[in-house]
Structure 1
Amino acid sequence: MNIKPNRRVPLAAAALLAGALLLTACGSGGGHDAHNAAPAATAATPAVSGKAYNAADVAFAQGMIPHHRQALEMAELATTRAASPEVKQLAAAIRAAQDPEIATMSGWLTGWGEQVPQPGAAGAHAGHGGVAGMMTEAELASLKDATGAAFDTAFLKLMVAHHTGAVEMAKAEQGKGGYAPAKELAGAVISGQSAEIEQMNKLLR
């Protein structure tokens, strides 16, 4: 008796082999997609966790550090030249708030590999009266020469302008910055210095 070859067996094996190859291809494709998705999630993490920073954050820190330093210089003058206890108390509050903020912002810049403004450097706002509220050298010299009630009036007027500039810088940081701690510090500057502006205007009246 002649036995005819069963052609269904090779066909079935071929079908199984093709299915296995298809599953393998799908499996490796899925792994490739998952692998590609991982970097995107990792890249988004810094922004979510507040670790990301941008050029606005750097500009804020580099501008605010010399701005704060000038405020500290003005506040230091008040300790020996002011006549009003309220002015002396205000100057002490300015020193207590802004000195630690300088250290904080300097730490950020160092961590980012950016330049920290050196003490004595007035920054981009130096010598331009009215820009960000920074005093000119002539205004600072005039304040140093004043004492008593004359000093109090000059100090309050100049510090109102100085604080107003800081608030403007802080609002710009909140609008354009990307580093959450810097935006939080900017919020503290806005609330704290706005309250001090109101206090100083009352003293001037």
Structure 2
Amino acid sequence: MGTPASRDAYFETGLDILANEGYGDLKLSEVCNRLGVTTGSFYHFFKNWGAYTDALLQYWLKTRTVRQMEAARAITDPFERVSLLIQVGLALPHGAEAAIRTWSSVSPEVRPIQEEVDKNRYAIVYESALDLLGDVDKAQGFASWAIYILIGYEQAALPHDVSSLGWVAQQMLDSLAAQAGLNVSGSLENQ
């Protein structure tokens, strides 16, 4: 077998399997096969499969939500913050996100992590919209709109088309700018 894999490589491989094959194909043998390592190498990092899947979900939470929310909160201009959040949302591994959402619907251990991700993402969009609009109801509506679009995109049985999702996101951003009274032109790609 090849060079030993890093702990993060196991996580990225797991997310890749989730993204491309789905929750049902996330198995020890597939992770090790893709990394070109033995199961002994796997057990060097993880006590058992449950420890791996717990750590994988924490890795996903941290790298795909917490770090990105921290970076967004560092941006003082709320419109720029929302623009960044939309770009982050467009770049998510949507197949993996959909697989984790499916997993959370059948696993009581995964469900709280999915709920934490959803709450964190909602909160940062809500905070940013509230900063722009100054209206709690409108900010809640905008945050719900953004989260529902993302989840719906990931759960749709249609082929994933990120350019169409980008178009929808641009419509949301334009609507937010108009409601906030901002004279902003351009597209997400230009920001």
Measured against the shorter chain, the TM-score band is under 0.3
Q: TM-score, normalised by structure 2?
A: 0.25
**More relative contact order, 1 or 2 (CA 8 Å, 6+ apart):** 1
How does the TM-score come out when normalised to structure 1?
0.24
> Highest Rg: 1 or 2?
1
